[in-house]
Amino acid sequence: MINKIDHIAIAVRDVEKAAEFYERILGLKLGGTEVVEGMEVKVGFIPIGETRIELVQPLNPESGLAKFIEKKGEGIHHICYEVDNIHKALETYKARGAKLIDETPRKGAHESLVGFIHPKSSGGVLMELTQPTES
Beta bridge partners of 115: 129
Radius of gyration of the chain measured on its C-alpha atoms: 15
80 forms part of the interface with Zn ion (CB under 5 A): yes
Among 46, 58, 128, 129, binds Zn ion (CB under 5 A): 128
Query: Which CB atom, from 9 or from 18, has the smaller least distance to Zn ion?
Result: 9
Residue 27's region, left for phi above 0, alpha for psi from -120 to 50, else beta, is: left
9 forms part of the interface with Zn ion (CB under 5 A): yes
Contacts 24+ apart (CB under 8 A), 21-27: 22/46, 22/53
Query: Which CB atom, from 88 or from 108, has the smaller least distance to Zn ion?
Result: 108
11 forms part of the interface with Zn ion (CB under 5 A): no
- Residues forming contacts to Zn ion in the complex (CB under 5 A) are 9, 54, 80, 128
